[in-house]
Amino acid sequence: MWIKNCWYVAGFSAEIGQTLTARKFLNQAVILWRTSAGNVVIMEDRCPHRLVPLSLGTLVKDQVQCGYHGLRFDEKGACAHVPGQETLPKSCQVKLFPVAERHSLVWIWLGEADIADKALIPDLHWMDSPDWTVSRGYLRINADYRLLNDNLLDLSHETYVHKETIGSGAVADSPVTVTVDGGRVVRVHREMPNIDPPPLFALVLNHTGKINRWQVAIHMAPGINMTEAGVHPVETDRALAHIIRPLHLLTPETEHSTHYFWGVPRNFRLDDAELTVQLQKGVAHTFDEDRDFLEIQDRCLQAEGMPSIPQTAVKVDVGPVQGRRLLAALLQREKEDPRAVHPPVALADDSRVTMPPAL
Ligand SMILES: [Fe+2]
């Protein structure tokens, strides 16, 4: 059910310090911590001695000390100390996972360790570029991560679910164009000319007159999503649009729960700290609304034995259906070759992005 040979987001760099953080990815329990030299370590959350979680222990001078009998393990996973004895059992080893830090994120590789190539990390430079300012957040959702991908590939729900922030009748009423790029990325494009700005856009634009709005839902299997949104007053040029590129970075926790790391980069009012907080709050509210629906949907699906969806396909399902097809193709590739990898492609192009003037 899960793609293994790819990098998944394991956390924000800023949240991993010299203390143990316990998380589960793809049903694999791990601990994350940072050495005094600054390297992030991800190891199995399991003491090889008595099999209790190492997360019940503590970090002692760059070694993880098991909370049960005090055995210690170094950053390579090797046993470094056994209380009451001199010799160290060589076979007593904690499993390590390949880890990387890029774009202010910590990444984990859960597939074949010797093919974990950092060149396969998706380009998410918007998360730490000086040309963009980012609002960030995290949400844990008790739903199958594929339902989150479906949600992000069919944004017509904004009209009904997100009325208080980004939704308006124009979203569901505007047709979409769907393209598939390089067998890796689905794009669902929608234009909404000459509309009243939904509340969150009125706030970020500081403008309540008519706007032109577009959005592109971009999905790269298994769990990288961007929702490019461009808005500008109807009397101004599209080339000077205010652009936000929300990134929705999904890592399955279990079959029915998902880590949702998100960042909302914008190309305007870069130094406006108050706007960063306002966007953070507005987006968090929006994603809480998604969570409510997704958790109910997951429970309904489980109660019905996980039937395939949609039961009735309508036009806006084209994006999610294409997303599921890409995922199925990657899964098939790994089934045929357990060492297959899936090179990422570019999500969006910055070459035509210009910082817009303040309104
Ligand atoms: Fe939503």
Q: What is the structure's pLDDT at 354?
A: 78
Distance 154 CA to ligand 1 centre (A): 9
Q: What is the structure's pLDDT at 295?
A: 98
Distance 162 CA to ligand 1 centre (A): 7
Distance 287 CA to ligand 1 centre (A): 6
Distance 356 CA to ligand 1 centre (A): 26
Distance 200 CA to ligand 1 centre (A): 13
Q: What is the structure's pLDDT at 351?
A: 81
Q: What is the structure's pLDDT at 59?
A: 98
Distance 169 CA to ligand 1 centre (A): 14
Which residue segments constitute the domains of the chain, with CATH numbers given?
Answer: 7-118 (2.102.10.10), 125-336 (3.90.380.10)
Distance 274 CA to ligand 1 centre (A): 23
HEC-encoded secondary structure of the chain: CCCCCCEEEEEEHHHCCCCCEEEEECCEEEEEEECCCCCEEEEECCCCCCCCCHHHCEEECCEEECCCCCCEECCCCEEEECCCCCCCCCCCECCECCEEEECCEEEEECCCHHHCCHHHCCCCHHHCCCCCEEEEEEEEECCCHHHHHHHHHCHHHHHHHCCCCCCCHHHHHCCEEEEEECCCEEEEEEEEEEECCCHHHHHHHCCCCCEEEEEEEEEECCCEEEEEEEEEECCCCHHHCEEECCEEEEEEEECCEEEEEEEEEECCCCCCHHHHHHHHHHHHHHHHHHHHHHHHHHHHHHHCCCCCCCCCCCHHHHHHHHHHHHHHHHHHHHHHCCCCCCCCCCCCCCCCCCCCCCC
Distance 251 CA to ligand 1 centre (A): 17
Distance 63 CA to ligand 1 centre (A): 42
pTM over 0.85: yes
Q: Which residues of the chain have pLDDT under 50?
A: none
Distance 288 CA to ligand 1 centre (A): 9
Distance 145 CA to ligand 1 centre (A): 14
